[in-house]
Structure 1
Amino acid sequence: MKRHTIEPRPGWQRIVEEQGVVYPLTRYPDDSLRPYWDESAYYSFTLPEVEALEDVVEELHAMCLAAADHIVARDRFADLGITDRALADAVGESWRRRRELPSLYGRFDLRYDGAGGPAKMLEYNADTPTSLVEAASAQWFWMEDRFPGADQWNSLHERLVEAWKRQAPLLPPGPLHFVHSELDELGEDLMTVAYLRETAEQAGLYTEALSVEAIGWDSIAGRFVDDKLRFIRGCFKLYPWEWLTTDEFGPHVLETLDNGGGTGSTCWIEPAWKMLLSNKALLAVLWELYPDHPNLLPAYLDGPRELAAAGPGYVSKPLLGREGDGVLLHGPGGHPAVRDEPCCYQELAALPEFDGNRVVLGAWVVEDKAAGLGIRESSGLITDEYARFLPHVIR
C-alpha cells in the first residue's frame, strides 16, 4: 500500500459531479471550500494485498453474523441499548427469518497500513453506509482516465445489480420505493439512493423515488402510502433504523413490519436485523466471542478495563452515530473515563499516516462477499465530516 501524488484532471469537479458526486467540495469552519473528492493523490495496492484483505473482510462479515446470532439467542438486546421489548422482538424475528428478507450491502472501516501487520476492524456500518457513489463509480472512471488498462478493487456495481436479481423473488409486488431524508443538504444521501435505484432498475425492478418526509399513513387501511396514495410494500431506506422506529410513526413501522412468512405489509431494506451489526456494541461482543483475533481490537461495554492503564490508550464510541460524532480519544494512564451515555470502549489503533494524512479503508460487502474499496483521509486521528475521498489502483 503506497500513496502517490498526481496532478488532478482538468475540469475534475465538473467530471465527478456528472458522475453523481454532486458534493465534491467540503465547507470548513473557516468558510473555505476544499475538495472532498481529492484526486491530487491516490493509493496503490498489490494484488496479493487486495486478495488478503478480501479474505479478512469476508471472515469479519461471517463473524459479525455469528455475533448477531449470539445476541438474539442470548437475548442481549439491552447491551445494544434496545430496551423496548416490541423492538427487540421485531429485530429478533427479523434475524430468525433473515433468509426470507432482502439485504443488500454494508461497509467495514479498517485500520491498515500495508506494512505487514493485520488489518484491524474499527466498525461496521451495515444499515446506512454512504460514500458508495464515489467508490463504485467515480473512482472507476478516474482509473480509466488516468491509468487505462489498470485494475481496481471494485466490483460494486456488478455485484449490486446481481444481488437485486437474486433477491427479486423476496420482494413484494409493486414498485420498490427508494427513500432518503429531505434534511440531506449536501446531496450525498440523495445520490446514494439514486445510484442504488439505478442498480435495481438495471436488475429489472420497477422503482419509485420518495423522501422519508413524503411517506404517508393511511389510517383506514393501516398501511404506509406514497405521495400517490399507493401502498408502500417494499422500501429501501437510507434512514437509520433507530430513527425510523422512534419517529412519530415509529409504532406503525413495527405494527406493519414485513419480517417474512407472509406477515406485515411493508418490507424495509435494509431489514431490521441490520440493527445488530450497525451498533458499536457489536465490537465488544466480537471481542468476547473471538478474543485475541488478529483482525479485532479489544473492546468492552462496561468501561475501558485494562485499556486505561497501559498501551496506546482507548477510544470511547457512542453505540450509535456516524462521521465520528461523539468519538473521544483517551491516552493511557490516569483514571478510567466511563461516560454517562452507553458506549463501546475500544483499544486505540491510531490511523496510519501517509504524507501527513491519516487514512482509513472502507471495505464494501455486497450480500456476503467483499466487493470493493473506498479510501478516506483526514488530518486528525478521527475520520470525521471533513475527511477526503481518494481513489486507488491495483499495481
Structure 2
Amino acid sequence: MQRELLIPRPDWPQKMEEVGFSFHSIDGIYWDERACYRLTTGEVDMLESVTNELHQMCIDAAQRVIDRELFDQFAIPPEFVPVVVNSWNNDEPTLFGRFDLSWDGKSLPKMLEYNADTPTSLIEASVAQWYWLQDVKQGADQFNSIHERLITRWQEISAEAGIKSIHMACAGESEEDVGNLDYMCDVATQAGLIPHFIDINQLGWDAVGKRFVDDQDNAIAALFKFYPWEWMAREAFGRNIETASTRFIEPAWKMLLSNKAILPILWEMYPDHPNLLPAFFTPQKFASDYVKKPLLSREGANINIHATSGEVATGGEYGEEGFVYQAYHPLPNFTANGKDNYMVVGSWIIGDEAAGIGIREDESPITKNTSRFLPHYFV
C-alpha cells in the first residue's frame, strides 16, 4: 500500500453534490482528494479475508454474551436485556457494519473496534470514491461493492421479513446523518422497497395498537435508524420496544458488537489472535502502553492514549457507562509535506460479507468525526 499525492479535480465539489454527498466540506476539509491510497490485489484479498473472519468472531462473541448473560459488562439497562435477547433468538437480520482497522500495508491489520450499529462514512465509501475512481483512475479497480451489496441485502431482508415499505429515521439536525439516510432511502428504493423518511423525534407510540407510528399516525412496520440503540434504550419510547410489532434494522443484538465491551470478550475467546489487540476491563494487565476507551463512545470521543511517548486525550460526554483498556497500536503515519497523516481503514460488512473499505486520516493519532476521508484504488 502506498499513499500518492494528487491534484484535486477543479469541479469536485459540484460532482460530489450531484451524487448526494452534500457534506463534503463539513467542519473544513472532509473529503480530501489531494492524496489517495494505492493497494494491490493481494492486499485487498487479505483485507477481505480478515474482515470476514473478524465478523464471524464477533458473532460468536455475541453468542457467548447471550449464553453467559454478561450484560452488566456492557452497561445495558436490565429492563432492556429481553429486547436484546429476543432479537438474537429470533435471528433478526443485520444490514451492515464497519470495522476500524489499524494497518500500515506491511504488518497484519489489527481490529480497533466494530461500528456495528450506526456506521458512518457510508456514502463517501460507497458512492463518492467510486465516482472519483471513474474520473481519476480509469482502468484501475476499487475494493468497493458496497452499493450493489446493500441493494441485494435489502432485497433479502425484504423477502425474509415480508417488508414492502420501511420508515427511515435519524436526528434531523445532523447534516451527515441526513445525507447518509437520504442515500439509504435511494438504495432501498432501488431494492424495491418504499422508504418513508422521518425525524427520530417524530417517532410516536400507539398504546392501543401497541405499535410505533410516524407523525401522520401511520403504523411503522419496519424502522431503519441512524440512531444508536443505547440512546433508544434510555428514551421514553424505549420501554415500548419489547412489546412492539415493529421490526428494527439494525436489530437490538447489534448493540453488543458496537459496544467496546466486546473487545475484552474477543480477546478472552481468541487470545493472541493475529488481528486482535489485547483488551481487558481493567488496566492492570498492561505494563506499558494502552488506550482507555469508553464502552459507548463515538467518533473518537473521550479516548485516552497512555504511552511512553506521551499522553493524548480527546474530550466528550462519554465514560459514565464504564471503560475498556486496549493495547496501544499506533496508527500508521503517512507523513507528507511535513504534516502527520494518521490513517485508519474502515472495512465494511454488508450482511455477513466484506464489501469494501474507506480510509480516514487525521493529524492526530485519534480518529474523530472531523477526520478526512481519502479515496483508494488497487491494481
TM-score, normalising length: structure 2: 0.94
Q: Does residue 45 of structure 1 match 2:21?
A: no
Which residue identity is paired with 1:375? I
2:359 matched residue in structure 1: 375
Q: CA deviation digits over 1:127-156, x for unaligned, max 9? A: 000100010000000000011121000000
The partner residue of 2:204 within 216, 219, 222 is 216
Q: Distance in 2 between matches of 1:114 and 1:188?
A: 30
The partner residue of 1:104 within 77, 92, 95 is 95
Q: Alignment length, in residue pairs? A: 367
Q: CA deviation at 1:49?
A: 0.5
2:316 matched residue in structure 1: none
Greater CA drift, 41-50 or 188-197: 188-197
2:5 matched residue in structure 1: 5
DSSP-derived class of the 1:353 partner: coil
1:83-162 matches, within 5 Å, as 83-84=77-78, 86-98=79-91, 101-115=92-106, 117-162=107-152
Q: Does residue 21 of structure 1 match 2:15?
A: no
1:31 matched residue in structure 2: none
The partner residue of 1:306 within 281, 285, 294 is 285
Q: CA deviation at 1:223?
A: 1.8
CA contact (8 A) 1:162 1:203 kept: yes
Q: CA deviation digits over 1:38-87, x for unaligned, max 9? A: 00000000000000110000000000000000000011111111241x31
Q: CA deviation at 1:201?
A: 1.1
1:195-210 matches, within 5 Å, as 195-210=183-198
CA contact (8 A) 2:210 2:243 kept: no
Q: CA deviation at 1:204?
A: 0.9
DSSP-derived class of the 2:9 partner: coil
CA contact (8 A) 1:245 1:254 kept: no
Q: Distance in 2 between matches of 1:51 and 1:372?
A: 11
CA contact (8 A) 2:296 2:321 kept: no
Q: CA deviation at 1:164?
A: 1.1
Q: CA deviation at 1:212?
A: 0.6
CA contact (8 A) 1:108 1:124 kept: yes
Q: Distance in 1 between matches of 2:163 and 2:309?
A: 58
Which residue identity is paired with 1:188? E
Which residue identity is paired with 1:327? I
CA contact (8 A) 2:295 2:324 kept: yes
DSSP-derived class of the 2:193 partner: coil
Q: Distance in 2 between matches of 1:90 and 1:326?
A: 28
Q: CA deviation at 1:354?
A: 0.4
The partner residue of 2:74 within 73, 77, 80 is 80
Q: CA deviation digits over 1:256-290, x for unaligned, max 9? A: 1xxxxxxxx11110001101100000011000000
1:168 matched residue in structure 2: 158
Which residue identity is paired with 2:7? E
The partner residue of 1:347 within 280, 302, 327 is 327
CA contact (8 A) 1:4 1:43 kept: yes
2:313 matched residue in structure 1: none
DSSP-derived class of the 2:212 partner: strand
CA contact (8 A) 1:36 1:387 kept: yes
Q: CA deviation at 1:306?
A: 3.0
Q: Distance in 2 between matches of 1:170 and 1:227?
A: 27
CA contact (8 A) 1:244 1:253 kept: no
Greater CA drift, 202-211 or 268-277: 202-211
The partner residue of 1:192 within 159, 172, 180 is 180
DSSP-derived class of the 1:35 partner: coil
Q: Distance in 2 between matches of 1:172 and 1:183?
A: 32
C-alpha distance 20-88 of structure 1, shift in aligned 2 (>3 A): same
Which residue identity is paired with 2:298? R
Q: CA deviation at 1:341?
A: 5.0
1:260 matched residue in structure 2: none
2:376 matched residue in structure 1: 392
Q: Distance in 1 between matches of 2:58 and 2:111?
A: 11
2:246 matched residue in structure 1: 266
1:245 matched residue in structure 2: 233
Q: Give the unaligned 5+ runs of structure 1.
A: 28-33, 257-264
1:308-347 matches, within 5 Å, as 309-310=287-288, 313-332=289-308, 341-347=321-327
CA contact (8 A) 1:136 1:155 kept: yes
1:225 matched residue in structure 2: 213
Q: CA deviation at 1:218?
A: 2.1
CA contact (8 A) 2:206 2:212 kept: yes
CA contact (8 A) 1:172 1:267 kept: no
TM-score, normalising length: structure 1: 0.90
C-alpha distance 139-341 of structure 1, shift in aligned 2 (>3 A): same
Q: CA deviation digits over 1:106-143, x for unaligned, max 9? A: 0000000012x110000001100010001000000000
Q: CA deviation digits over 1:175-232, x for unaligned, max 9? A: 2111111231xx1111111111211111111221111111222233232111221100
Greater CA drift, 340-349 or 282-291: 340-349
Q: Give the unaligned 5+ runs of structure 2.
A: 311-318
